Structure 1
Amino acid sequence: MVGAGPGPRRGVIAVRGALVRLLFAAAVAALLLAAAVLIFLLPPVVHLLLDLSGAPAVLGSDAATAHQLSDALVFDLLRGGDFGVPYNGEALLSAAERSHLVDVGALLRAVIAIGLLGGVLLVTTILRSGGTATGAGRLRLGEALRDGALLLAGAAAAAGLAFTVAFEATFTLFHGLLFAAGTWTFNPATDRLVLLYPDAFWIAAALAFCVALVGAGCAAFVIGRRFVAPRR
């Protein structure tokens, strides 16, 4: 029986190499995305966005109260809580609002978990290659950083442009893709979830998040190019 010639074998190797390279690029993009999500969930960042958007006034509370309510909700997002935050002697959110935040929390935790897995994959590969100072490990890390940066920055730039040109349509599109219909629409006049986080909050957050991702992608691309470039 005659085996496959060198041509088909080289083709298989090339495809396998491309898939591995894509996997590492996705790992870098996922890690950077997860890091950005965690940064944007930090209290100082959320508080700044709340204040810039005038959220306390929209809710009808002072800034300190709005910050405390938001901190409690973000904590529940990260730990998988029930969002039963009290406000003026009653629950801050309705059952529908709490249900939506349960879905949001599951999505955020999945993004963070995938990002951590991407980080583990990168670190494991680097260690198995003998560290980034070696040729193979350095080249693979550089390619992953460069490709993942392009993937992330390109997607973030496209999303940022879409949010800038048509925020409502883009916001609706993303929610329609990520959540079941009818579970994420609320009354901005009465539902406290959208009073605490009004449209101005989401516009500022979405644009700042996209800019941060583009910046992180550019930084990773520069670092990746240095790793790939021949050492003198």
Structure 2
Amino acid sequence: MCIRDRSHAPRWGGRPGPLRFAATLLFVVALPVLTVTTGIRVLFSLPQVYDYSIEHFDAASLTGIPESELKRANRELVRYFADDRRLLQLEVTDATGQQVPLFTPVETAHLADVKALLRWVNAVQVASLAYVLAYVVLVYVWAREGSVRDLAGAVVWSAVATYALLGAAGAMALAGFDAFWERLHQALFRNDLWRLDPARHHLIQMFPEEFWFQMVALVVGGTLALMTVLAGLSLAYLWLARPRRDWMEAPLPQEAPTPPQVPAGGPVREGLEGSPSSGGSS
């Protein structure tokens, strides 16, 4: 059995190479994409979110359909977005007790477009999750080409990019959600089936624009909150793991050498010492 020798595995020091830089850049992008798409996927899979719109925007009186029937339709919508049906055929009992189609053919066709878009969102979410996990495992666990400090730095840069992009999108939505919502639909759909009439289309009566404003705010706010937590943890790690010198390893200050002592009468010169010579007798 062959075992890969990791003792000579390349370790990244200094600037990364172009391949490593590209992989890190993709990680910086994939992390917020994963967060946004996960939020969208969760919201569209919870019937309680649909029920919130029915209860808080008076959908029963607008549609003329009992609230219990609308909530039953909500669960059918959740199942429809998760199964393989091309079109949704859904009948409900209205206030007069008659069985009627809940949606018109235009609404049904638009729901098919929404389902196709959700399939794409789900695929992007799975791909971004797979890439984030693969990047962390391959670069930091298997190849050991980066340190935890490198990973923390990449998370911080990802948070900065998220703040910039979602901050701009949030500012546009707050400046005028009607225009923002219309431009978003024009970018996501190739037709005008999403232009529904609030006076006669049940779909927009059940889920009005105010509801979607709250859902957009929830996804954006949740993404920013999660990225803030990740960035905060990363910054805390970078601060705690910063290079610092142990005080026990610091060199002790050395004492200055003691200057030589000078006699009080000044320096003694050699050859000038001794007693004076005595004179001879006559």
Shorter-chain TM-score category?
Answer: 0.7 to 0.9
Greater shift in the superposed pair: 20-29 or 212-221 = 212-221
1:166-207 CA deviation, whole Å, 9 max, x = no partner? 111011000011111322111111111111112222222222
RMSD: 2.7
8 Å Cα contact 1:83/1:98 also seen in 2: yes
8 Å Cα contact 2:69/2:92 also seen in 1: no
1:70-121 CA deviation, whole Å, 9 max, x = no partner? 2211321233432212223232212221221111112122122212211112
Q: Does 1:35 align with 2:38?
A: yes
With over 3 angstroms needed to count, the CA separation of the structure-2 counterparts of 1:191 and 1:104, relative to structure 1, is same
The CA distance in 2 between the partners of 1:127 and 1:103, in whole Å, is 36
One-letter amino acid matched to 1:38 = R
Q: Which residue of 2 aligns with 1:4?
A: none
Q: Percent identity?
A: 20
The CA distance in 2 between the partners of 1:67 and 1:95, in whole Å, is 21
Gaps of 5+ in 1: 1-11
Q: Which residue of 2 aligns with 1:73?
A: 77
Corresponding pairs, count: 220
Greater shift in the superposed pair: 169-178 or 144-153 = 144-153
1:118-153 CA deviation, whole Å, 9 max, x = no partner? 111222232234549x78253454244323333333
Of residues 51, 62, 75, the one that matches 1:58 is: 62
Q: Which residue of 2 aligns with 1:102?
A: 112
Greater shift in the superposed pair: 95-104 or 163-172 = 95-104
Gaps of 5+ in 2: 1-14, 94-98, 243-282
Q: Which residue of 2 aligns with 1:170?
A: 180
One-letter amino acid matched to 2:22 = L
One-letter amino acid matched to 1:20 = A
Q: Which residue of 2 aligns with 1:46?
A: 50
Q: Which residue of 2 aligns with 1:189?
A: 199
8 Å Cα contact 2:53/2:207 also seen in 1: no
Question: What does 1:1-232 correspond to in 2, within 5 Å?
Answer: 15-41=18-44, 42-81=46-85, 82-88=87-93, 89-129=99-139, 131=141, 136=146, 138-226=148-236, 228-229=238-239, 231=241
One-letter amino acid matched to 1:60 = G
Greater shift in the superposed pair: 49-58 or 184-193 = 49-58
One-letter amino acid matched to 1:24 = F
Task: Answer 1 or 2: higher relative contact order, Cα 8 Å, separation at least 6.
Answer: 1
Runs of 4+ in structure 1 off by over 6 angstroms are none
TM-score by length of 1: 0.81
The CA distance in 1 between the partners of 2:147 and 2:53, in whole Å, is 40
With over 3 angstroms needed to count, the CA separation of the structure-2 counterparts of 1:18 and 1:86, relative to structure 1, is same
1:202-222 CA deviation, whole Å, 9 max, x = no partner? 222222222222222222322
Shift of 1:51: 2.2
Q: Choose 1 or 2 for highest CA Rg.
A: 2
With over 3 angstroms needed to count, the CA separation of the structure-2 counterparts of 1:62 and 1:191, relative to structure 1, is same
Greater shift in the superposed pair: 13-22 or 154-163 = 13-22
TM-score by length of 2: 0.68
Shift of 1:228: 4.7
The CA distance in 2 between the partners of 1:143 and 1:63, in whole Å, is 50
Which is richer in helix?
A: 1
1:37-59 CA deviation, whole Å, 9 max, x = no partner? 12322122332243233333322
8 Å Cα contact 2:30/2:131 also seen in 1: yes
Q: Is the partner of 2:89 in helix, strand or coil?
A: coil
